[in-house]
Structure 1
């Protein structure tokens, strides 16, 4: 039987902090939106992609930083409102 260490940090593996992983996801999404602006694509696709990435970033912030992952009803409600707002913004961009 393996001996159990007296040090807490060596006795079991720790999962990464959810705030740290959320920060890394936000950093990756920001990098993706920056790279999206450098692409030679139609402006409509770039604008839609940036808006979609912003919506994903907002959901990560709501779920992880504001702890709405614990209350899925509120998270779903905020996501629906933000999605509707994003659709209106994109429709106004297309006009």
Structure 2
């Protein structure tokens, strides 16, 4: 079971890092939607950093949760049109 957990931590960290690299904000930055996109991106980046912090401390459960939450912020932002993301592939559910 621990091997499965560590494999998932690896996979979700990579997924979040790759998604952050692919998501491009759509709304102009000086608009309420632009601010919302910036906040979603900031939350995703913060969760990536948190997950890496937990991982360094051998806390795989919280690392996985952080990576998952971070990806959810980006994915939700993409669904409501805050980000331009790839239409196909494994990064987003849009």
TM-score range, shorter chain: 0.3 to 0.5
What TM-score, normalized to structure 2? 0.42
Q: Which has the higher helix share?
A: 1
Q: Which has the higher strand share?
A: 2
